[in-house]
Structure 1
């Protein structure tokens, strides 16, 4: 599933080719996505000038002089720029035809993604208004996590994966950050000290920044390529390594299920 780093890589890859350009028209081949595409979307976007691309959590916000398009890539969605004569594949659901001659094409085999339109403040949209701070912002830090965690009995892993607490800390990133911070993922969030949350916040920032850098350096071909961002592929410490030796202490990496998600940790290095 595309997570925050993958969506940020998509934003960075597409922004230079979209910002300042006009959407001449749009073609919607499949309206039945996670939420139906507005039947008037083609009329809304035709002639709009793209002002800037932003990311909020896992949403890509395309600001125009007429409103804002909110993209969500869902489980399998991707965006790429293709030439007008590029073959339309089975799951190529939406095209934006740009004044540059390129088409911005949305591909989504599972159709769990979405394209929404708003003329209001996108931050006030129902999908975004409840979200917590961005993990790489100054607003997010250990003190914030410590305060938000008081009285909570849920595991610290499910706590930091809650988008109302902080956005974009997906399953891989939560497991890896907790390993770097030396915290067992099943510890009750409310019982972890301020000092340990300071370490955890720094670890989250480190893991996500590394994933974004990895994506930005391993794949830049959003023009004429497959549009797939570079997933976090650097050497993982614990995620997916059940039974393999911990890279720090050599003891076997363990796993358990928390919040219906597979969780990986070292029982020796994480307390």
Structure 2
């Protein structure tokens, strides 16, 4: 039922099979159903389709996930911790109440099972690079599994008993924030595919105890790209670019190109700054990932 494709392949397959009306709808539904090999009706409200396809068939999907994870309690608590938190392994272990040694063992096993991947902060691209011990972050290989452990697993008893009100409240309150991570991942995939003249050799994110950057990349010719990804119903303003530049200055990241991704586009003021060094993209641009 769950496929083992890359994120780009999952997204391309999802769009080709389900024919969403636009990229916004595609991303919204993919963030929940990505990786599942089932037909998805994107013409009805997402919350309605989740209820009909997942909540009403809870036991089927619970058994599928249990088979995938071997029903291991430590796996489930760590995956829930990662899905609900900032994805750092240290945060997931704290939420799961497991030791670092046991947590890392579980993460290695989940990686070998191709349930998760891990990424490290891109601190080596800072000019004043100083090796710091910063926890890795967990990435779910299939968006559906992140959805399951963020919204279903923590309140499974109510869902099992046919009580969906708590789920609906939690999902609607956190949907935008939840979907932003998939939007961010797809932004990385988009950049990898579109920088053809100077291929991207490294791409990821930067984080430490104070600052975060959604996208940091280095091309084959040594150019540094930094970016911001905002899945919001508001247009992105010039202040977002200003903040990104200020963050780079604080981190001693010498950026050659700034890229901003937005669900709903950009203000006129920000669009006037578009250039070779400032690139602006919206969800519509992700069509290239389907080919």
TM-score (norm 2): 0.25
Structure (1/2) with the larger strand percentage? 1
Structure (1/2) with the larger helix percentage? 2
TM-score (norm 1): 0.26
